[in-house]
Structures are given as structure tokens and as C-alpha cells.
Structure 1
Amino acid sequence: MSFVSDVPAAPSTEALAHFSASLAYETDCADVHAALAASNTPPDFVLLDVRGPALFARGHVPGAVNLPHGKIVESKLADYPADTLFVTYCAGPHCNGATRGAIRLARLGRPVKIMTGGITGWLDEGFELIEAAR
């Protein structure tokens, strides 16, 4: 028996519920890229880079809005309708900023997902970052 099979897999019905539910909380870089690249429709979400302004300026996902997770408050969201879907990202899997931002948005009653992988995942997929205008 290996460490992989030492703990039995969940029954298929439980696995289906678990993995299906995970998509309600997260999306991936490829799906975000495809949505942003679709020329016939604007994105149906707001992509939030929740890192600090200096990191955002050095390179961010095209179309992202910089709003550090610690500054996510209702007054900063006033221009967005209450049903706006926000997608948060940070530096990558080693960073919990996207989760912190998602928690703040959820506490404010806003729909939210995390873009798994963050900047690291974006670059791993071969997508480009842009620098902030100076």
C-alpha cells in the first residue's frame, strides 16, 4: 500500500459534490485569460489584484484593478453594483492575499472567487503581465 492509497478515496458521490463545489469558490488563470481576451463581450467580473501598489506597478494581469486586501471596504466598492462578481489574485500559491481579499469581500456580501495560482500561475500558463503607467 502506498501513501496515496493509504487513505481511501472518497465515494464518487462525495467527490463529485466536493469538486463541483470548489468551482463556486475559485477559477483558474486560463479561464480568466479567455474571458478577458473575448473581444465580443466585456468580462462579467472585476479582477482584483490584492497586492500592494508597488508590486502591482511592477507587473499585473491586464485589466486588473489594484485594491490591496487590507483596503477592501464598502466605500471602495461603491461604484460597483451589489451583484458584481469579484475575482481576487495575489502573488501565487505561496501567498494568502487572494484568500484574505475574498474573505473581506464575502463579509461585505459581495460575490467572490479566487483566481488560483495568482501571478505565478498566470506566468506558468505563458500569459503576459503589464506594468502600471508611470
Structure 2
Amino acid sequence: MSSVVSRVPAAPSEEALRHFRGLLAFETDCWDVHHALSNQRQDFVLVDIRGREWFDRGHIAGAINIPHSRLNEKTLAEFKADCLFVVYCAGPHCNGTEKAAIRLATLGRPVKKMIGGVTGWLDEGFNLIGS
């Protein structure tokens, strides 16, 4: 008797390896971002892509605020062309990170999504700053 989980067979190991390694080229997580920030190893720009009001209510220390609709050459002019951007939004229920990543990639900028967003950050027990 098989379960719903095993009813569809798992991918061959080589295929799974390509897939999961590939995900890390597009995503990072709250723990890795927190570790980098806490150990002065921030080699990326952390961008909160929510609106200013939400950013002011609480955001990750070290993040800047550029709403995804305002990501363009002008707002990115101060950053080197090879600067890695890590984008986050409210949480897994929000597709703002995908919209921001598309804009950044279209502009030829390296980008990763921080999975979990603010929800994931808080779920991990990390704090936000703001009012």
C-alpha cells in the first residue's frame, strides 16, 4: 500500500541534485541572511520591497526600502552593476519578491529571493526594527 507522498516516484538522484542546487542560485533563507548580518558578512544589499508604510512599521535591520514598482536604473544607480540584491516582502503569501526579482533580472542585476519574507523572519525568532 502506497501513500499519497510516494504515489508519484521521487526524481532520480542526479535530477534532484540539479534541481535543489539550482534553487540555491535563486533563493536564500532567513537563517543565512541573519547569519551574514550578525557576523558582518553582508556582501549583498537586502531590499525590503514592500511599501514605505509597511517598511516603517517594521523591517530587518540593514535592509533598504525600494518598493518593487520603483526598482529601475535610477533607484539602483548608486550600486555597482555586479552588486547582489536579496529581496524580501511580507511572506510566502506575497509574490512581490518575484516581481522585484523579475525587475532586477531584467535590469541585468544579480538577485536572490529571501524565502519566508517577514513572516519567516519572525517565525525564526528574529526581530524587526521600526515603529
Q: Aligned partners of 1:72 and 1:81: how far apart in 2?
A: 15
The aligned counterpart of 1:83 is 82
What's the CA shift for 1:3?
1.1
Specify the SS of the correspondent of 1:31.
Answer: helix
| Amino acid in the other structure paired with 1:24 | A
The aligned counterpart of 2:27 is 26
Residues 4-47 of structure 1, C-alpha deviations (whole Å, 9 max, x = no match): 011110000000000001000000000000101114x4x10000
Query: Structure 1 runs of 4+ off > 6 angstroms?
Result: none
Q: TM-score, normalised by structure 2?
A: 0.97
What's the CA shift for 1:56?
0.2
Question: Counterparts of 1:1-134 in structure 2 under 5 Å?
Answer: 1-39=2-40, 41=41, 43-131=42-130
Identity of aligned residues (%): 63
For structure 2, list consecutive stretches of 5 or more residues without a partner in the other structure.
none
Q: Say what the alpha-carbon RMSD is for the aligned residues.
A: 0.8
What's the CA shift for 1:2?
1.4
Q: Aligned partners of 1:51 and 1:5: how far apart in 2?
A: 39
Q: How many equivalent residue pairs? A: 130
For structure 1, list consecutive stretches of 5 or more residues without a partner in the other structure.
none
